[in-house]
Amino acid sequence: MRFPELLIEALKKSEIPLRFEPGAEESVAKQVTDLVRLWLEAHEPKDASSAFYSGQQKLIDRLLAELEGAVELPVEQS
């Protein structure tokens, strides 16, 4: 599953009265996605030369890719 699909499904199941507005879920999802993107980008290291900051940058890159739906979300294994 990709993050955008997960977010839309969560919005459809919510108690928010969006179901009667065509495209309402997508509109709200875009606002949430934009907010999360800004939050992640605010944590990008200015200098990724150290191993720690390089790892942090790789994690942020992965999370941004998931946020945009470019990659599948990790599957939890029991």
- Report how far apart the first and last C-alpha atoms of the chain are (Å, whole number): 17
Domain around 55? 3-68
Residue 11 tokens, joined: 């919005």
Residues 40, 64 contacting (CB under 8 angstroms)? yes
Give the residue among 78, 70, 64 at the shortest CA–CA distance from 2: 70
Residue 18 lies in a domain: yes
Residue 73 lies in a domain: no
Residue 21 lies in a domain: yes
Residue 59 lies in a domain: yes
12-67 pLDDT per residue, tens:
777 666 556 777 778 888 989 999 999 999 999 988 899 999 999 999 999 999 99
Angle made by CA atoms 18, 25, 9, in degrees to the nearest 5: 105
Q: Residue 1's pLDDT is what?
A: 82
Q: How many domains does the chain have?
A: 1
